[in-house]
Each structure stands twice: as C-alpha cells, then as structure tokens.
Chain A
Amino acid sequence: MDEPEIKAAVKTYILNEYLPGEDPAALTDTTELMTTGILDSIAVLKVVTFLESHFGITLEPHEAVVENLNTLSAIARLVMSKKA
C-alpha cells in the first residue's frame, strides 16, 4: 500500500465518521485536523485505533502527538514509517 492509498483510506474513514455530508474536496492532504478542532482528542484516538487495525501497525504512546496526526499527509507518513 502506498502513500496515496493510505491517505485515501484515512480520508474515507474521517469523512464517514466525523464529517458526514461534507464535500470530500474540502478535506485536503494539508487540512489541519487537530489544531483546528475538526477532530478532538477522543476522535483522534479512534483514528489511531482505525490506523492500527486497518494497517496492522502499533503506535508507541510517544508517537501519538499532534505533529504525527494533524493532517492526512502526516498520518500517511507515520503509517508508511511504521510499515517500513
């Protein structure tokens, strides 16, 4: 699975779970999810759980920081690095 595919899967998940009815184009690779409050901490945890089960990875607690989870790009980078 490459980076665009990871982004697409996470994007679909976030749109379905947290932004139902939203125009998919409004959620770009660089849309800030946490710092703008689109996702609160509980929602982010659910995203983490999704990442772990969907991509078969396990995050270390210190990896659960805003920098790694704030945008689709950052999330894809994190998943790629964990799968590498």
Chain B
Amino acid sequence: MKTDVVIVGGGPAGTASAMFLAREGIKSVIVEQEKFPRYHIGESLTGGGGQVVRQLGLEAEMYKRKYPCKQGVKVYGQSKAGSWFVPVTGRDADWKLFPWDTWQVRRSDFDKMMLDEAVARGSTLIPGKALKPILKKDGSVGGVQIRPMDSEKTMEIEADVLLDCSGQATWLANLGGLTGPKYLGSYDKQIAIFSQVVGTIRDDGATRDQHKANTLILYASKFHWAWFIPLDEDVVSVGIVVPSAYFLEKKESLRDFYIRELHEIHPELKRRIPEIKLVESVHVIPNYSFQVKKFCGKGFICVGDAHRFVDPIFSFGMTMAMWEGQLAAPHIKSYLSGERRDQPNPFADHQLYCEKGIDVLEDLIDCFWEQPLAFALLVYTRYTDFITDMFATRIYDHQPSPALDAFRKLLNREGLREKSYETEDLYSVPIGARFHPERAAIWETNSPVQSTEDWLGPR
C-alpha cells in the first residue's frame, strides 16, 4: 500500500504528528503493535502540552473527559518546612505571561482518544509490527516493511517519509544504519517504580498552588524522589525514582519495596497516603537518559522519546513528543512537494531546532540536580518568569533567556552548546554525556563499543 507518511507508533508522538499532517492535507498510516487502550506511564502535560492539545482543537474534549486540570507543580524539598510552586502559564501574542491550566491524563484513555481522533481525521491505523525501513536506490527511506497483526506474511507500506514515534524503544536507532549512534546521557543509574493509589489526601483548591490536580514532586536526596500525579477524583499515580543500586541493596520484592518507600521516602508523601491501597499493579522501568545523534535524514524523522529522553522529573516527555510532531509537519510538507531532496539531511533545520530546545531542558534538569540551592535561588528570586517558561516547555523562542545563561554558567557550559551546534561531526559528544568521561569509548568513531547496549551489556 501507498501513503505520504508512515508513522511507526500510535502514542501521542505518532497521533499528534498524524493530526498536524492531516491539517496540511497530508495522508498518513499509523502502524501500532499494541491494542489500545493500554497502560503507559508519563501522565502529565506541561503548559506547552496543554497548548498543543488546544491547537489540535481538543480542549473541549479534554474538559468533557474530566482530566484533572493541573495548575502547577509543587516541589517539596528535603525537610518538612518548605516547598516551592511553579504555576502553569501561557504567553500571549505580546509575550506577556498569563495564568493557564493544563491536564493530567490517564494514558490508557488519552492515547486511545488521540488515536481515535487521528483516524477520524483521515489517518489509517494498521495494527502490526514495524520490521524495517524500505530504502530507495538513492539511499533515502521509501517506506516500511511491517508484519500485520495475526498475519504470517509481511507487508510493505510505501511512503516518502517515515516517522519513528516508537518512544523509548528507539526502533530506528536500534536497527542501526540510518540514524547516528545512541549515546547514554547523564542519568542512567536509576529505576522508576510506580503504581496507582486511592484514598490520598489532596490539597483543596483554594488557590492555584493548593489545587487538587497539581503535580507534587517530593525530593528526598540526589536522584531519589517521588511523583504524585492525580488521575481523577480518586486515583493518583505515584512513582518512586531511586538509584538502582539502592533497590538491589534492599533485596525486596518490587511491591514490598514500593510500599515501604511510599512511607519512607518523604514525610509529606506519607502524610498524603495514610493508608496504602493500590489499584494498579506495580511497574518498573529503567530510567536512563539517552540521545540519538542525527535523528533526521533522507525521508525519516524520529519524534519525541524515539531520539531523546532526559529525565522524567518535570514531566516534559509527552509534551515534547507532541510538540515535535507539530514542528515536523511543515518540514514534511515541503519535502513531499520536492524541496531539499538533494540534501544529505533534508530535515537538518528541524533537527537542530529540536535539539536546541531539548538542550534547554537538559540544562534546566542538570542544574536542578547538580546545584539545587542555586537552582532554587534562581527560581525564587531571580528569573521566576523565565524559568516558568522552561517548565511550560517554551524552549524554542526567546531563548537563551537570562535564566538559561545562568544555568549554563553554573554548569560550566558557557559557549559549549553554541559550539556543538556549529559542528557537523556526527560523533561529537553530547554535552549531557560529559558527566561520564569514562565512556569516551562509545564516542570514538572507530570504537569497538558501538551502542549503549554494547556498553551496558544485556539488560
């Protein structure tokens, strides 16, 4: 079969991409191997995520479905005394801040809504497993070979553009050959353990910082923290992120570990969950950051987690995935109309734009972990508005802001980012990876270690 754009993965990256493409009059096929609804983690949208959903014309549907209306993020520090609050904001046409809201979403429901909506707007869903990209004679991607669900035979979907929206599976990068290498980032020694609880004590909504739908982040020590994300009137997603060594040391079952941590990780979390009642099994995922270099090329673009994952602490993932889908659409349109076909990377502009944006988030997160006090000082007393922008994922325009410059100064990264944007070297070391100079082997062109998996061994 033939289409304009084939999308591997029917999560928010894929469905948002399909809808933004449909707006440009571009046909797409979504290949998804799981049957929706399905459980997925990553349940919070930033202010920017709310904006994308609104741009897709889904605001009324979001309210109708009664997704909790998040007003901001409250971060609890190491002791009982303090918390700080970052409100969800928007910027108007004159770049003036205004208070806004966004949503917490139960992914089984939200992702299904997005998929149904993408299909309603003209995209074709094919349940099945993507096997490999089809290459044209000139080396550009010309579609994908799949195995449809319940079929022994493979099938070819011809398309001028392939979008890898496979999330952390990093389907295309793992196949090798088309993208650049996948590097480990700074955060690789943690795991996230999570479930859903009921009967929690929520704030009562008198003021924005007391709103019952807010995200709470409870910080115990470096790389050891918890999230509290309300999913409806009763159910709350609660996750514990810990160094994996700490988990192994405890020699407990996943469930026992989770339940003990709920009451030990932070006094505020214990207060909010007086009696532990789980309504979902306990899940675990490795929480490691990675970055795929050269994630765009002749006829392909990786979107969202399929090329980069930093750290889940401030819930940027789903927003970034949908936002990048929106950013990609006009580039795909001009490529389909025949532009930039002769260039080695027709989507180089899009790639650099995305990269610069996520670098802002990486610097924000690194500063939070490496310089917590200075970070809090900047949030509180220096650049509150600029940092609100970053938390809302306004990371492309009006950057670098004075806040970002301050972060980079604290991290000794002044000028480093700019320099990295000027190099064409595929093997240039991602800055986030500089925390691990011992891994230089991965970064060298002729290294025997070619991938993250090689380095880590089987997981």
Contact = CB atoms under 8 A, between A and B. Distances in A.
Interface residues of A, number: 18
A17 to B, nearest CB: 10
Contacts of B148: none
A10 B459 CA distance: 53
Interface in A2-52: 18, 37, 40-45, 48-49, 52
Contact of B377 (A37, A40, A59, A66): A59
Contact of A41 (B78, B406, B409): B78
A65 interface: yes
A42 B83 contact: yes
B372 interface: yes
A18 to B, nearest CB: 8
A61 B77 contact: no
A64 B378 CA distance: 10
Given A40-B79, A45-B380, A48-B381, A62 B372 contact: no
A49 B82 CA distance: 15
Contact of B81 (A42, A48, A49, A52): A42
Interface in B32-81: 77-81
Nearest to A68: B373
A61 B82 contact: no
Contact of B374 (A40, A49, A61): A61
B126 interface: no
B376 interface: yes
Nearest to A61: B374
Contact of A42 (B82, B371, B382): B82
Contact of A61 (B78, B80, B410): B410
B81 A44 contact: no
Determine chain A's interface SS by DSSP, over half rule: helix
A65 B376 CA distance: 11
A52 to B, nearest CB: 8
A69 B372 CA distance: 14
A61 B382 contact: yes
Interface residues of B, number: 21
Given A62-B409, A62-B410, A41 B381 contact: no
B372 A41 contact: yes
A42 B373 CA distance: 8
Given A42-B83, A48-B381, A49-B381, A64 B373 contact: yes
A59 B373 CA distance: 12
Contacts of B380: 45
B353 interface: no
Given A48-B381, A61-B406, A42 B374 contact: no
A54 B390 CA distance: 31
B369 interface: no
A62 B84 CA distance: 20
Contacts of B382: 61
A48 B77 CA distance: 17
A37 B79 contact: yes
A64 B377 contact: yes
Name the residue in A42, A44, A61 with the highest tally of chain B Cβ atoms < 10 Å from its Cβ.
A61
A48 B377 contact: yes
B386 to A, nearest CB: 13
Contacts of A44: 373
A64 B372 CA distance: 9
Interface string B348-388: 00000000000000000000000111101110111000000
B376 A45 contact: yes
Contacts of A52: 381
Nearest to A69: B373
Given A45-B381, A48-B377, A49-B381, A61 B371 contact: yes
Interface of A: 18, 37, 40-45, 48-49, 52, 59, 61-62, 64-66, 69
Given A40-B81, A41-B376, A42-B376, 20 more contacts: A18-B81, A40-B77, A40-B78, A40-B80, A41-B372, A42-B81, A42-B82, A42-B83, A42-B84, A48-B377, A48-B381, A59-B377, A61-B382, A61-B406, A62-B374, A62-B410, A64-B373, A64-B374, A64-B377, A65-B374
The 4 A-B pairs of least Cβ separation, nearest first, read A42-B82, A40-B79, A61-B374, A64-B374
